Amino acid sequence: MKFRCERDTLAEALATAQRAVASRNGALPVLFDLRITAIADAIELVGSDLEITNRVTVPAAVEQTGVAVLPKILGDVVRKLEAGPVTVEVEGDEAKVSSGVFATTLRLKAVEEYPRILATDGAGAKVDAHLLAGALRQVVKAASKDEMRPPLTGVLVAARPGGTGIRLVATDSYRLALRDLDGVSMLEDGQKVLVAAKGLNEVQRLAGDGEITVVLGEREAVFRTDKAEVTVRLIEADFPNYEQLIPQGYPNRLVVPKEAFREAVERVTVVGQGRDNANVRLQMSTGGGLELSVSAADVGTSTGHLDAKYEGADLTIAFNPQFLLDGIDAVDASEIALETVDHLKPATLRPADGGDFLYLLMPVRTA
Amino acid sequence: MFLHVDLDAFFASVEQLLDPDLAGRPVVVAGLGRRGVVCAASYEARPYGVHSALPTAIARRLCPHAVFLAPRFHLYEDHSRRVMAILDDVTPLVEQLSIDEAFLDVRGVRRLHGDATAVATAIRARVHDEVGLAASVGGATTKFLAKIASDLAKPDGQLVVAPGKELEVLHPLPVQRLWGVGPKTLARLERLGVQTVGDVARLPVESLVHAVGDAHGRHLHALAHNRDERVVVVERDTRSIGNEETFAHDLTDRAAVERELTRLADRVAQRLRAADVEARTITLKARYGDFTTLTRARTLGAATAVSTVISATARELLGSVDVARGLRLLGISGAQLVATAAEQQGTLNLGALTEETERDERRAAVERAVDAVRARFGSGALAPATLLDVEPRSSERS
């Protein structure tokens, strides 16, 4: 195998493949490596921890086709080289990476030990890349990182009843994010799958312009963007029944400009940075708008006021500041409605003019 | 915020307290034999160079006019207990280090007793008024610095280092102040030109590791930046909250025993909640009719002050107890106490996934409501239903 490729192109492709490489102890050793395949006028780079596989293809001047498995430091080696063309050449049991007067040799790993990455033919469904990436941005953050609760580490992708579009849902049991996407058809009627949230982060990251092709297999979902192809394992578990959690109506409704709300929360939260129990209290009253406060033991207290439209009973409710900020960020609108029942029941953040997104957030119980 | 409470010249102060003639005079409590050493020297004796661990013979030469006394430990223990009881009033989060010093975690008592400075002042006043001794108190965001602060405050003083001011206090101090800097380490550090704690802080951690070894070097580096992750560890045996009950007739019926456990768990839980703490470890104590006593303990995944969790744990522990042999005493205690989180993140009801969390949360809420009712209408106003047909026991103690 021998090819030449521009440093920047190669380094970026390696970084993408490398993100899927195993990072955890105990993984199969070969999963810490990268697989490179040189074909006619391009090279394909693959990194995988078996849960997520990133596959990138970039143009290269290939002199000799072939396959090699190399340690992932290849990425660091390439990044440190001078700008310009980089040559990678397999000689015996080593690969030589060179640029100008600098050269590094890396020991090859056994190609046959690298897991077989499934070919992903199949036509698949096409989704607008910006639309899908935007929806993922709103939802994926609410998924759990707790591997003891596998069903919550995924994002539910479900066909909406009646066959119009899909719904994305994620929850870590403290908050839940839900987004409906109209006119997207990648599922059959009634079909639903649970896709690992970590993989969907990659999809969001690699979404470019144009379209993303989604191919659903038995055990994995494949997302093909114009930059790379991400294969994500499906989680074999039932997503909890979330529909009953969403209150049908709310007695209290606060409407605030999104940016002002976010800034106000960030401003009062600083005092509690890195502290447990430095929750943000929202005090709402008709005519009085919104009072925010954070009190951190041993540090101090911050308070603030925001003009806001409020209808309902006077209420003080407390939230974990990060969860609240995640919710505010996720709402894609200039005005946010915060709807509440009381200081213990889940509250909802959504665009003030309705729309297809909601963020359900459990309050913090205060003494 | 941590407080370090240290009784000044403790043994000597107790002797001066008990014998007014000794007040104001140099007093040395020491082993009086040929190879005895000084246990404590009153502040009047210290200007002569007398300090603890000094051989008594040398102390006599340095300060011949001092009163030399053999230690009377039972008296010191008695006074120590009275001081520790005052500390326990402030917070259950007390870690007694020795007979005359203790750490307190006062983060949770702000609403009750005020900030660290106020708590320190109150402790010193109470120890002075109620026991008659002088205590020095240091306060800081780490245990390490709190102990240094109490040392700086001596005698009979207090120094609470405000958050953010830690390094200002710490860095000018000589490097010997750091825990673990003895003569050998000191010599190695001096070779690096280190004299103050600040000098240590400015050294790259690699140089420290090179000079004094890996673990030690990292440790010193952390301390010099006031990094000390240790929390107050409430002693397992002496710091627990428990109730026990002796029965007029030995119990042999498992159902009756389980009822008693429910009753005990209810009381222990209530006392834990009243103290604003939760217990990680639940211990069951059972004594047979022949006075053979056994204890069984289990550490829970999460600390609790919920009676149903405590009684369920106690019932599990009862599995290894031969009830038929006849029990004359039962006890439940909660240890490894931690301060109750005042605010708790709620959980969405996700069915089986969150069932356990929710059940415990609901019970905790119910029991807090029970506490409120009992506070208003007396402890008999509400009781677990399993106890309704049973006469209250009389010989309870805790």
Same domain as A329, residue A259: yes
Domain-embedded: residue A303: yes
With b for 16 or more beta-carbon neighbours within 10 A and e for fewer, the B36-74 pattern comes to bebbbbbbbbbebebebebebeebeebbeebbbbebeee
Q: What is the pLDDT of residue A265?
A: 96
Distance from CA of B135 to the nearest CA of A (A): 24
Q: Domain end: A243, A264, A282, which one?
A: A243
DSSP run (H or E) holding A300: strand A300-306
Residues 6+ apart with CB under 8 A from A326: A141, A142, A175, A359
Q: What is the pLDDT of residue A119?
A: 63
Angle at A224 between CA A221 and CA A228, to 5 degrees: 120
Render pLDDT for A168-181 as a digit per residue (tens, 0 to 9). Answer: 999 999 999 999 99
pLDDT at A21 over 90: no
Q: Half-sphere exposure (CA, 13 Å, Cβ side) for B43?
A: 9
Looking at the annotation, which residues of B are catalytic? 101
CB contact under 8 A, A346 and B107: no
Same domain as A131, residue A90: no
Confidence of residue B394 (pLDDT cuts 50, 70, 90): very low
Per-residue pLDDT, averaged over A134-147, amounts to: 93
Domain-embedded: residue A120: no
Distance from CA of B348 to the nearest CA of A (A): 5
Tokens (6 digits) for B255: 């159902």
Chain A's closest residue to B110, CA to CA, is: A297
Number of domains in chain A: 3
Percent of residues, chain B, with pLDDT higher than 90: 39
SS3 A313: coil
Distances from the Cα of B213 to the Cα of A199, B74, B138, B189, angstroms? 43, 43, 30, 12
Distance from CA of A279 to the nearest CA of B (A): 8
Same domain as A210, residue A184: yes
Per-residue pLDDT, averaged over B294-309, amounts to: 85
Cβ neighbours of A189 (radius 10 Å)? 10
- Tell me if B56 sits within 8 A of B31, measured CB to CB: yes
Same domain as A87, residue A6: yes
Closest CA to B226 of B314, B146, B322: B146
Render pLDDT for A69-128 as a digit per residue (tens, 0 to 9). Answer: 999 899 999 999 999 999 999 998 999 999 989 999 999 988 888 887 766 666 788 999
Which residue in B353, B361, B367, B371 has the most chain A C-beta atoms within 10 A of its own C-beta, making it the best mutation to test that interface?
Answer: B353
Which range, A27-31, A150-154, B107-111, has the best average confidence (pLDDT)?
Answer: A150-154
- Tell me if B259 sits within 8 A of B390, measured CB to CB: yes
Domains (ranges, CATH) in chain B? Answer: 2-8+86-167 (3.30.70.270), 10-73 (3.40.1170.60), 174-224 (1.10.150.20), 240-396 (3.30.1490.100)
CATH of the domain at A284: 3.10.150.10
- Phi-psi category of residue B39: left, alpha or beta, with phi > 0 → left and psi -120 to 50 → alpha: alpha
Domain-embedded: residue A273: yes
Chain B's closest residue to A346, CA to CA, is: B348
Q: Which of A152, A245, A279 sits opposite B349 (nearest CB)?
A: A245
Q: How far is Cα A215 from Cα A126, in angstroms, rounded to an integer?
A: 9
Q: Count residue pairs from A and B with Cβ separation < 8 A.
A: 66
CB contact under 8 A, B345 and A362: yes
Q: What is the pLDDT of residue A26?
A: 63
Q: How far is Cα B302 from Cα B357, in angstroms, rounded to an integer?
A: 10
Confidence of residue A309 (pLDDT cuts 50, 70, 90): very high
Which residues of chain A lie closer than 8 angstroms to B353, CB-CB?
149, 151-152, 173, 240
Which residue in B343, B347, B355, B366 has the most chain A C-beta atoms within 10 A of its own C-beta, making it the best mutation to test that interface?
Answer: B343
Confidence of residue B78 (pLDDT cuts 50, 70, 90): confident
Render pLDDT for A158-169 as a digit per residue (tens, 0 to 9). Answer: 998 776 789 999
Does B26 sit behind a cis peptide bond, omega within 30 degrees of 0 on the bond before it? no
Q: Three-state SS string across chain B, please?
A: CEEEEEECCHHHHHHHHHCHHHCCCCEEEECCCCCCEEEEECCCCHHHCCCCCCEHHHHHHHCCCCEEECCCHHHHHHHHHHHHHHHHHHCCCEEEEECCEEEEECHHHHHHHCCHHHHHHHHHHHHHHHHCCCEEEEEECCHHHHHHHHHHHCCCCEEECCCCCHHHHHCCCEHHHCCCCCHHHHHHHHHCCCCEHHHHHHCCHHHHHHHHCHHHHHHHHHHHCCCCCCCCCCCCCCCCEEEEEEEEEEECCHHHHHHHHHHHHHHHHHHHHHCCEEEEEEEEEEEECCCCEEEEEEEEEEEECCHHHHHHHHHHHHCCCCHHHCEEEEEEEEEEEEECCCCEECCCCCHHHHHHHHHHHHHHHHHHHHHHHHHHHCCCCCCCHHHCCCCCCCCEEC
Domain-embedded: residue A266: yes
Per-residue pLDDT, averaged over B177-183, amounts to: 79
Q: Which of B110, B347, B351 sits opposite A241 (nearest CB)?
A: B351
CB contact under 8 A, A149 and B107: no
Cβ neighbours of B221 (radius 10 Å)? 19
Per-residue pLDDT, averaged over A238-265, amounts to: 93
Distance from CA of B342 to the nearest CA of A (A): 6
Residues 6+ apart with CB under 8 A from A338: A253, A254, A255, A256, A282, A347, A348, A349
- Tell me if B118 sits within 8 A of B158, measured CB to CB: no
Domain-embedded: residue A100: yes
- Phi-psi category of residue B315: left, alpha or beta, with phi > 0 → left and psi -120 to 50 → alpha: alpha
Domain-embedded: residue A118: no
Distance from CA of B104 to the nearest CA of A (A): 15
| B128-142, B362-376, B377-391: least confidently modelled range | B377-391
CB contact under 8 A, B343 and A360: no
Per-residue pLDDT, averaged over B82-111, amounts to: 86
CB contact under 8 A, A240 and B350: yes
Kindly give the pairing relationship between strand B27-30 and strand B67-69. Answer: parallel
Render pLDDT for B20-66 as a digit per residue (tens, 0 to 9). Answer: 899 999 999 988 877 788 889 999 999 999 988 888 999 999 999 99
Residues 6+ apart with CB under 8 A from A144: A152, A153, A171, A172, A173, A197
Chain B's closest residue to A295, CA to CA, is: B343
Q: Which of A174, A241, A299 sits opposite B347 (nearest CB)?
A: A174
Per-residue pLDDT, averaged over B314-322, amounts to: 88
Q: What is the pLDDT of residue B395?
A: 45
Same domain as A135, residue A109: no
Q: What is the pLDDT of residue B396?
A: 42
Cβ neighbours of A264 (radius 10 Å)? 21
pLDDT at A367 over 70: no
CB contact under 8 A, A171 and B343: no
ipTM above 0.90, yes or no: no
Q: Which of A173, A276, A318 sits opposite B354 (nearest CB)?
A: A173
Residues found in chain A: 367
Provide the 8-state DSSP code for A188.
-
Same domain as A35, residue A98: yes
Which residues of chain A lie closer than 8 angstroms to B352, CB-CB?
240
Q: What is the pLDDT of residue B297?
A: 87
Residues 6+ apart with CB under 8 A from B98: none
SS3 A141: helix
Render pLDDT for A298-308 as a digit per residue (tens, 0 to 9). Answer: 688 999 999 99
Chain B's closest residue to A243, CA to CA, is: B350
Q: What is the pLDDT of residue B381?
A: 74
Confidence of residue A144 (pLDDT cuts 50, 70, 90): very high
Per-residue pLDDT, averaged over A198-219, amounts to: 90
Chain A's closest residue to B164, CA to CA, is: A299
Q: Which of A240, A297, A364 sits opposite B346 (nearest CB)?
A: A364
The mean pLDDT of chain B is 86
- Tell me if B244 sits within 8 A of B285, measured CB to CB: yes
CB contact under 8 A, B343 and A367: yes
Percent of residues, chain B, with pLDDT higher than 70: 95
Q: Where are the beta strands (DSSP E) in A92-210?
A: 94-99, 102-107, 125-128, 154-159, 166-171, 175-181, 192-196
Domain-embedded: residue A189: yes
Q: Domain end: A113, A147, A171, which one?
A: A113
Percent of residues, chain A, with pLDDT higher than 70: 96
Distances from the Cα of B304 to the Cα of A141, A364, B271, B374, angstroms? 30, 18, 12, 20
Q: Which of B342, B350, B352 sits opposite A171 (nearest CB)?
A: B350
Same domain as A216, residue A133: yes
Sheet strands side by side (includes A229-233): A66-71, A33-39, A42-48, A52-59, A229-233, A220-224, A211-216, A125-128
Per-residue pLDDT, averaged over B80-84, amounts to: 89
Q: Domain end: A216, A243, A270, which one?
A: A243
Per-residue pLDDT, averaged over B289-302, amounts to: 82
Q: What is the pLDDT of residue B397?
A: 42
| A160-164, B3-7, B57-61, B225-229: least confidently modelled range | A160-164
Domain-embedded: residue A186: yes
Which residues of chain B lie closer than 8 angstroms to A279, CB-CB?
343
CB contact under 8 A, A276 and B341: yes
- The residue range of the domain holding A267 is 248-361
Same domain as A356, residue A285: yes
pLDDT at A138 over 90: yes
Percent of residues, chain A, with pLDDT higher than 90: 69
Closest CA to A128 of A180, A191, A201, A185: A185
Which residues of chain A lie closer than 8 angstroms to B107, CB-CB?
297-298
| B14-28, B123-137, B347-361: least confidently modelled range | B347-361
Residues found in chain B: 398
Provide the 8-state DSSP code for A46.
E
Q: What is the pLDDT of residue A278?
A: 84
Confidence of residue A59 (pLDDT cuts 50, 70, 90): very high
Same domain as A357, residue A255: yes
pLDDT at A223 over 90: yes
Tokens (6 digits) for A80: 């440190």
CB contact under 8 A, B348 and A241: no
